[in-house]
Amino acid sequence: MKIKYSFFLIASIASFSLLLESCKPDEPDDPIQSGPTAYLLDIPGNWPKPNILPENPLTVEGVALGRKLFYDKMLSGNGTQACADCHHQSDGFTDLGKQFSIGSKGDIGTKNSMPLFNLNWATGYFWNGRQPTLESLIKEPMEAHIEMNLKIDEAVNKVKADPNYPALFEAAFPNQGVSELTLRYAMAQFLRTILSGNTAWDKAFQANPANPQKTMTPAQARGYLAFIDENKGDCFHCHSPLNPFFGNSNEREFANNGLDATPDSGYFIATGNMNDFGKFKTPSLRNLAYTAPYMHDGRFATLMEVLGHYDEGITYSTTVDPVIVKHMDPNDNFKPVPRLSQQDKEDIIAFLMMLTDSTLVTNPAFSKP
């Protein structure tokens, strides 16, 4: 009887197990695709929240696609020039020391190639701020006849015809395909990942925010103190050390720094406000070791020339920033009043070199794939 009972017990358990198995939902043959993978920016803790469009969140696939597009010469009319050919990683994503870049047809531009890092914190793009987002700026240099000289719809057709790109677009933007919008989104995603915040200054500031000069060399410390001294450099109003970008995002993001008596239209192009004539983007002071020449028109080859301008070369016009005007003599045709010694200038440059991030120009994540 024991043997017979055991047999029926085992049979019952087996039948019940089969019943449970039959009640399980059918499993798909292939795992469910969850879409693109979120890309997490490694942002220093003291930096503000980045300005990223909610409709274009960063993804691993989108960033990789944008990086490939950034380096692809196919996106010029004659197939000879990529975005990277005017924005070289080795030079802080500027153009190899050139005053003006040369376009795909050999035309010479009119503005100095801007550095491309920490772009998430700007509120206007190009030197005159005429584009509000990274996504919106992509079209201009591609279509400009003195730059890449390729209509955006032609670029889309080229990418669609490529044997590799459609699958990459599908991975980054499922069910959206190759379009002007997704092309812009991908390139903007890559640009948003180019961060620069690993410098000697960052280490000194993090170690002692109240007195960062305590961990500097004597020349760097003197330069820092001259930089923030209103009676010497007085640089901090437009390039505050409390702003991690040293000029990319503050109340003077666009300013007239007295380059010309009859200034270029500048920020007026973006605002239509006559008070914005001659105002240009106040650039970040990070990576000045890589980004010469300086100013929107690349007129100064060295930082010593830049400091000479601020000390004795300012030219008055009605929209020059008040912080600069206060160092000019209203009783002598607004001539600038010199206040920096040669030693002061050398020390300020020593401090500015602390803002050099060598990892920016070597990071393989930003290089040609």
Give the pLDDT score at 4. Answer: 37
Give the single-character DSSP code of 248: S
**Is the preceding peptide bond at 115 cis, omega within 30 degrees of 0?**
no
* Superfamily of structural domain 60-195: Cytochrome c-like domain (1.10.760.10)
pLDDT tens over the chain, length 369 residues = 333 333 333 333 344 343 334 444 444 444 455 799 999 999 998 899 999 999 999 999 999 999 999 999 999 999 999 999 999 999 999 999 999 999 999 999 999 999 999 999 988 999 999 999 999 999 999 999 999 999 999 999 999 999 999 999 999 999 999 999 999 999 999 999 999 999 999 999 999 999 999 999 999 999 999 999 999 999 999 999 999 999 865 667 999 999 999 999 999 999 999 999 999 999 999 999 999 999 999 999 999 999 999 999 999 999 999 999 999 999 999 999 999 999 999 999 999 999 999 999 999 999 999
pLDDT computed for residue 250 by the predictor: 61
What does the pLDDT read at residue 6? 38
- The pLDDT assigned to 3 comes to 38
CA angle 196, 198, 200 (to 5 degrees): 130
**Shared fold status for 60-195 and 200-355:** yes
Coil, helix or strand at residue 38: strand
pLDDT at 8: 33
> Where are the chain's structural domains?
60-195, 200-355
Residue of 78, 69, 140 lying closest to 109 (CA atoms):
140
Architecture of domain 200-355: Orthogonal Bundle (1.10)
The residue count for the chain: 369
Task: State residue 255 phi and psi, 5-degree precision.
Answer: -150, 155
Per-residue pLDDT at 251: 66
Query: What's the confidence (pLDDT) of residue 106?
Result: 97
Q: What residue spans of the chain are helical by DSSP H?
A: 2-23, 60-70, 134-137, 139-143, 152-161, 165-172, 180-192, 200-207, 218-227, 268-271, 303-308, 322-325, 342-352
Number of H-type helices and E-type strands within the chain: 13, 4
